[in-house]
Structure 1
Amino acid sequence: MQHGEGRIAGAADIGGTNTRVGLIREDGKIVRIEKFPTPVSGNAEDIPLAIARALMDIAGDIPLAGLGIAAAGPLNIREGILDHPPNIPFDFVPIVAPLKEATNLPVIFQNDCRAAVLGEVCAGGARGYETVVYITISTGIGGGICTNGKVITGRGGNAGEIGHFPVDTTYNLTCTCGLSGHWEGYASGRGIPFFFREWCTAHDLPCIYSTTPEILRFSATDPRYAGFRDALAQVNGRGLSSVIVAYDPDCIILDGTVIQRNPDLLDQALVYTDRYLDLPPCIFSPLNGDAPLIGAAMAVFHPKMI
């Protein structure tokens, strides 16, 4: 036993702006955590080396069961690399090989949303449910699916890219992937300002709000812009409808800054969610934004689930 409270794993959650490294117990409790800016001004190899240094700093002489890594895709699980990540300015970022060499630990590499659903199933709001979909609505929109104790990963670890479900043919907004009409291009933190601007133009209204927090705050109180809230609710309803008919979940876990800070967006979206299948419970994540980090560690303890 380690620290008298069970095994401990290292974990990292790599973001375009910040990376978090933590020590996580087998029950999902966070022992220690360190956050630092993701190094993007030098070489791609600086990212895994910074993770290794931070892990060694916070672990000290604590023996670790392994190291789990969560990162926004696209991933190439077979090669253990980030493959042309849109939020990190390198074509390829080697992850698994340099971390194995630097830490001498087994390394398990996952998409951040696939890690998050594992965190929710093992230690969060999805415990006790058989088929779970995790949805994050934050800077982007992503998803993770776990059914019968197994996370759906797909060919290269990128299954569940629900942010690229088509939800609109009226405005045809361009998504970050370059295609149009995708959920992420409308309802993510990055997409909402573009959607708002196009909606204002279509309705001959001044686009007086520019950031997602402003738009969501004032569109809830300014009657001139109430129609935008309704348009956003329709888009979110279509996204949720697609998730439900695609996966028939017992539970949907919602996470991410946009939806967590604006919980009324869920109630509004549910008005436009199809009832072709029964609506499952929709639960806000109780893990305070740490689901990907916790799930990265859970993959070390439960490798058969991925």
Structure 2
Amino acid sequence: MKSIKNVPNVEFRAPNIQKSGVEVLDLDIFYKKLSQCKFDPSKPHRINYFCFIYITEGEGGHFIDFQYHTFQKGSFIFVNKNQVHAFDLDSRPQGKMINVTEAFFDSILTNIRLPLFTPTHLVSSYLPVLNLSQTLTQTCDALLLEIDRAQTPANSDPLLIQLLFSSLLVALARERKSNTEHLSETQTMRFNQFLLSIEEKFTHTREASAYAEILHISYKSLNQLCKLACDQTAKQLIDAHTILEIKRRLIIDNSQVQEVAYELGFDDVTYFVKFFKRHTLLTPSQFKEYSKAK
């Protein structure tokens, strides 16, 4: 595990992304700009936008939320908003980095119904690295080239960029495998709504029945949906996100255990410690020390 002390929060401020919501950047250019960064991208950092990394040459690994995921030529790496990740600057693979704002997704997701950027990192069936087929590689190369062209000052066309990026998402979704493929469209949308609700509400409630009310379904129906989607209960998914966010908060600015407990809605620090240890076999303090030692 990489050292995860004092994790910075990173906002994306490139001129292109301000105009269109999408920026396609060659990794070579990214490497050349490293000296201008106010943080070390090879160290864990939390992002407030969505990030794709498309590998065209090389192999290595990418750190995402306390896990190290290997990649190779033809891999597509998905990093969700608010996730903590770190780049592999030892191997320096070639390829593209695609940074996308949340506002951009809001503008296109009304037209395409895809689960790519719901908090699917809570579900083990959604792997963050997709190895593309030869056909999909060719499709991605062509679409990314057209997106890049559509962002030049002479050809700037926000609508065209939306259409091209929507096409890219659809192509990736067809090949990205998960065990939710057997769900109906309605079930998929409701399950994704539940995952998003967890991110928004978990500091206020960790009771599955409360989320059932939010979704206007019964507690039993919500549990059945979760079991069908990922063989986990609703409560297990809520707790999984809570544990993940505790880990993130513990390492951001080296936050104290009591501070994290209160920020995440735990009134009793003793219960907070027991909750964390029940799921990780470590106390929050032990987790911090273990992480620093790595």
Same fold, judged at TM 0.5 (above): no
TM-score by length of structure 2 reads 0.30
More helix by share: 2
TM-score by length of structure 1 reads 0.30
